[in-house]
Amino acid sequence: MKKYLIAACLLVASVATQAQMRVNLGENSPLNKLRIAEMAITNLYVDTLSEDKLVEDAIRGMLEKLDPHSSYTTAKETKALTEPLTGSFEGVGIQFNMSKDTLLIIQPVVNGPSEKVGILAGDRILTVNDTTIAGVKMSREEIMKRLRGPKGTKVKLGIMRRGVNDMLYFIVKRDKIPVKTLDAAYMIRPQVGYVRIGSFGATTYDEFMTAVSTLQQQGMRKLILDLQDNGGGYLQAAVRIANEFLQRNDLIVYTQGRNAQRQEFRAQGNGKLKDVEVVVLVNEFSASAAEIVTGAIQDQDRGQVVGRRSFGKGLVQRPIEFKDGSMMRLTIAHYYTPAGRCIQKPYTKGEGQDYALELDQRYKHGELYSADSIHFSDSLKCYTLRKHRTVYGGGGIMPDIFVPLDTTQYTNFHRKLSAHGLIINANLNYIDQQRRVLKKKYSTFATFNKNFEVPTSLIDSLIEEGRKQKITPKDDTELQQALPSLRLQLKALIARDLWDMSEYYQVMNENNHTVQRAISLLQ
């Protein structure tokens, strides 16, 4: 343990040597004081305790007094956090949801291990290696732990299939399963492409360029780049995507910190989208790498930004890995847009609670509903690099065109049904019973999207289930107001389960005010 503690300090010191700093290891040094305290607690404290946990708590305690994004994660937590960004994990390759304590397969991954052995959408997994997982209230995490495993290992799955009386058994050989970071890519209007990026991971650029190539073959001349709810990810992925839109030597972003010299990231001039008109969509949950792309396009006057002010996460973390697989992410610099705006919103060191509630404060102050509620100091004023338009720093990216949050779109009744999982469950039950009929009737998504209407019986069963759980509309007016959005969401969920997420967004985007505003701009 002491070796890990010293190794961590030496690693931090090696970073600091770039600024010609030294760690004082003398008898009166803070490091020596920390070492003595750890040794005393370990050897003299009245109760037995874990030395590993003691050191982990000490690291967390130090980081909690810093900025909101410096953090420590255990080996297990580190793996869970990095998996979605690294582009793959090892498992059986299924998309699933839990329906009445039973794992229901939504879709097997195309060409994945489960599809190769004949597992189908709609199958229920009842046993894993002869251990029952259905009807025993096993946690989702525990089920995933049993399904995942090293590439090449085998797992025996016991499956019930609609129309088959006996249990079916499949031996699945685990493999690497790709993790997609693109949620959707399709032609939303003639000549207008739409791409939604969920996060910026190791495979995002390749996914993006594959989608772009397909859309250009379909006649794309303009692009809506949807970064709403995108929490960020890898800096390099954001830089590579921004590069596709910019001219040679255009500044994309730069980083600078107390002991980190200014580092600039510039466009190479080899992008395939330099002549494509672009609109970027953001909201209050767009952060970090999403803000880098948005800031670059806005500051270089390359395209318009539509939506609401982004989150404001502009701190650069350097990962410091420990031998046991745990990791410390230490903030070493700030991100700055090409115009010199600091993306990071204000914070007080050690006050993580207030920082976490900042979005609630935006809501209370009315910022999500009116651009007039947002006030910037003149000291934060900057200018775009080509047209010299006024933009502001000091926290997030303010869009060129503000689209307020529409609280009338979803009633309180709808929100309660959603919060209790009743809409998802109603969809799962319906798709489980009607999958074959729907697939036969709607051979393509285009025919489904044009002709399918959510049956009244599905709406009635959803409302009845809500009534059983004491979730009811306050009056008939609220019910009638909720019905269109309920039908739209259910149709989108059914489309997702029959095809994929791209089809889900094709349905939902027709009622998304931010997306529709972008379409009107490009048309």
- The set of catalytic residues is 288, 299, 313
Distances (CA, A) of 281 to 114, 140, 195, 229: 36, 33, 10, 10
Tokens linked to 232: 């960020």
**Are 101 and 117 a contacting pair, CB within 8 Å?**
no
Beta strands in 190-241 (DSSP E): 192-197, 222-226
- 277-282 and 304-307: which strand pairing? parallel
- Calculate Rg over the CA atoms of the chain: 26
> Rounded to whole angstroms, how far apart are CA atoms 461 and 417?
12
Phi-psi region of 106 (alpha: psi -120 to 50; beta: other; left: phi over 0): alpha
In sequence order, the β-bridge partners of residue 222 are 192, 277
> Rounded to whole angstroms, how far apart are CA atoms 306 and 103?
39
**H-type alpha helices, 250-357:** 289-299, 352-356
- Which residue reads 């002869």 in tokens? 130
**H-type alpha helices, 1-67:** 2-16, 30-44, 51-64
Tokens linked to 351: 């006050």
> Rounded to whole angstroms, how far apart are CA atoms 395 and 367?
14
Closest of 61, 60, 6, 59 to residue 32, by C-alpha: 6
**Are 522 and 277 a contacting pair, CB within 8 Å?**
yes
Closest of 125, 132, 109 to residue 157, by C-alpha: 125
- Which residue reads 């931010």 in tokens? 514
Beta strands in 109-216 (DSSP E): 124-128, 131-132, 154-160, 168-173, 175-178, 182-189, 192-197
> Rounded to whole angstroms, how far apart are CA atoms 394 and 343?
6
> Rounded to whole angstroms, how far apart are CA atoms 157 and 124?
10
Amino acid identity of residue 118, one-letter, is G
> Rounded to whole angstroms, how far apart are CA atoms 385 and 186?
32
> Rounded to whole angstroms, how far apart are CA atoms 135 and 209?
43
Helix (H, G, I), strand (E, B) or coil at 453: coil
> Rounded to whole angstroms, how far apart are CA atoms 424 and 125?
19
Closest of 157, 166, 272, 160 to residue 221, by C-alpha: 272
